[in-house]
Amino acid sequence: MTLPSRFSAIIFDCDGVLVDSEVLAMEVEIKALAEIDLVYDDSEFRARFLGMSNTAFYDALEADHRIRHGRDLPDGFRQMCHGRYQAAWHRLAEVPGARDAVGRVSLPKAVASSSTRDGLARKLRQTNLWPLFAPHIYSADHVARAKPAPDLFLHTADALGIAPARCLVLEDSANGIAAARAAGMTAWGFTGGGHMGETCGVRLQAAGAERLLPDWPTAADVLCTL
């Protein structure tokens, strides 16, 4: 298939697209939330929270806990989740095929992630992805409003010196797709992360993903033709 050559840069989400971190985060967070009687099934958790910054995520949990239990989250809950997640980081790896695929992309590229600056750097360095993107690596710390607001993608396009309409975004979350669309960019959904369920592709398309890429070998074949 011949694709229109309408893109001048590709912007990648990190968690669940480049690095298989979402599956670890969900494992830790869903278990910890169940311990305080704040229960979500996997599908609901993905739909509501994937792609959020840490601040937005815990603010949403705080609101849910007040509604369901009439009080704030237990003291130290955020720190406990962070500690458990850190303890699982030795299992962190790239999404299979990500490094090889990104290395084959010839267009200018960047990372735009809802992670913190330090967390993003650690993930990309641990998986040997950092050199493929530096210096164009941007986190939620770079902007006032994280995804689903468009700010981070607009910041990234400005840093690349490329008009938003010429940018293609690869995302695994509805929040990320919404942010890319709000920035005036084309968004494609990636469903190859270990955390993705059967309905995730449908959700990404409903959020505005123009097409879906099921894994990195497939994505590489497509992206390298742009």
The CATH fold assigned to 23-90 is: DNA polymerase; domain 1 (1.10.150)
Flag whether pLDDT at 216 surpasses 70: yes
The whole-angstrom separation of Cα 186 and Cα 202 is: 17
The whole-angstrom separation of Cα 164 and Cα 145 is: 17
Query: If we measure between CA atoms, which residue out of 216, 215, 213 comes closest to residue 3?
Result: 213
Find residue 112's DSSP bridge partners: 138
| Residue boundaries of the structural domains of the chain | 9-21+92-223, 23-90
| CATH topology match: 9-21+92-223 vs 23-90 | no
- Is it true that domain 9-21+92-223 has CATH number 3.40.50.850? no
- Confidence (pTM): 0.84
pLDDT at 226: 86
Residue 45: which residues within 8 A CB-CB, separation 6 or more?
26, 29, 30
Mean pLDDT of all residues in 147-154: 95
Residue 4: pLDDT band with limits 50, 70, 90: low
Mean pLDDT of all residues in 4-20: 90
Residue 202: pLDDT band with limits 50, 70, 90: very high
